[in-house]
Amino acid sequence: MKVIQHAETDIELSELYQAGFDVDMQDPEAQFSALQLFATSLGLCTFSVLAAYGAHLAVDPAGIRIRLRWQYSEHPMRVSDIDMGIIWPDLPADRLEAAERAAEHCTLHHTLAQPPAIRTRVDR
C-alpha cells in the first residue's frame, strides 16, 4: 500500500493490494503519527468492503484510490470531521451510489458512528 501524506490532515491511499506500507511525505513539515494511521486504517477498512463489493460485481478494485481529509475540534481535542473521497476508475457509473452505500459498512465506519465505551487503566 502507498500512503501519500499531502499535509498533516490530508492523506491519499493507493496500490492497496501491494504488500508493504510505503509513506511518501509531500509536506516536509508534517509527521506521520497516530492520527494519520487512524485515517489510513479507516481507508483500508473501506477498501476491504469495496473489494468484496467489486468481487460481487466482477469489477476490479485494484485501481481504487482513497483520499482522507479531516479537521480537529477542541474541548476535548479530537477529530471532528472526516471527508473520504474514493476514486474507482473501473466502477460502472450506474454503481456509484451503491458503492457509496457499501463503503459506509466497514467496521471502523460503524465504530465511529456508534463509538464504543473505552476504559483506560494504568498499572505498575
Residue 124 domain flag: no
Residue 120 domain flag: no
Residue 121 domain flag: no
Residue 119 domain flag: no
Residue 86 domain flag: yes
Q: Give residue 23's domain range.
A: 2-113
**CATH number of the domain where residue 97 is located:** 3.30.300.20
* Residue 29 CA to its chain's centroid (Å): 22
Residue 123 domain flag: no
Residue 118 domain flag: no
Q: In the predicted model, is pLDDT for residue 6 greater than 90? A: yes
Q: How many domains, in total, are found in the chain?
A: 1
Enter the pTM of the model.
0.93
Cα torsion angle, 80, 50, 7, 3, sign: positive
At 78-116, the pLDDT tens digits run: 999 999 999 999 999 999 999 999 999 999 999 999 999
